Structure 1
């Protein structure tokens, strides 16, 4: 029987943890974790996992969809309206890569540190 594990945190490497945490805070409304500092920042939610951002020297952002610097993982966020959410996130500093494999079902954006993330329609 596999161990019973509960996901408690997801941590993203980046060059500027405070800036990336600020982007995701504005995008999600999550609260800053009180232990955040210059080298590690985090966002928290009641009953949910912490999203952490850790400083990495010589950080190189993923190049999506190319794999010369692979994405390694991505986050999915369910939104009520893809167009509205995309517009708001682009205004906050996200970017939209040219390659969009999801059609009308999902959109791929990248955060200010270059990590790809998806916006999805409700299931």
Structure 2
């Protein structure tokens, strides 16, 4: 039998409070103040948990340059009809657009619409993607 577990993605950066506010605003989450100023946790009503940790020697990821790995990224699911508004919110909060990729319709795929993902860099340089949620992913 496996012991019950949960998982939290931790993003490193130079200014955890600033990055926490960015993601709290983007995700509609709450910032949990703790005893350690170098570690901030965000929780959202939809079950979102994200942690931000100060790295005093932090250097942003260089993705999408081909010589370096992406490391990790946050995938933010959005109702398909809200994708444009979510993009405007992210940019207004300080995100920088990196790429938009539209995949053509594939017969037999889960969804009968084009699949579009929009990738951004957060204020600390981490990549995150706004992607349309499938109907069974419970966004709304």
Give the TM-score normalised by structure 1. 0.84
Aligned to 2:119: 108
Structure 1 segments unaligned to the other structure (5+ residues): none
SS across alignment from 2:24? helix
Paired residues in the alignment total 121
Higher strand share: 2
Give structure 1 regions of 4+ aligned residues with deviation exceeding 6 angstroms: none
1:115 to partner: Cα distance = 0.5
Q: Distance in 2 between matches of 1:36 and 1:50?
A: 18
Aligned residues: CA RMSD: 2.2
2:87 corresponding residue in structure 1: 86
Unaligned runs of 5+ residues in structure 2 are 104-114, 135-140
Question: Is the CA contact 1:25–1:31 (under 8 Å) kept in the aligned structure 2?
Answer: yes
Q: State the distance in 2 between where 1:35 and 1:25 align.
A: 16
Match of 2:42 in 1: 43
CA gap 1:88/1:46 in 2 versus in 1, 3 angstroms: closer
What TM-score do the two structures reach when normalised by structure 2? 0.75
54 and 26 in structure 1: CA distance in 2 versus 1, 3 angstrom threshold: same
Instruction: Decide which structure has the larger Cα Rg and report it.
Output: 2
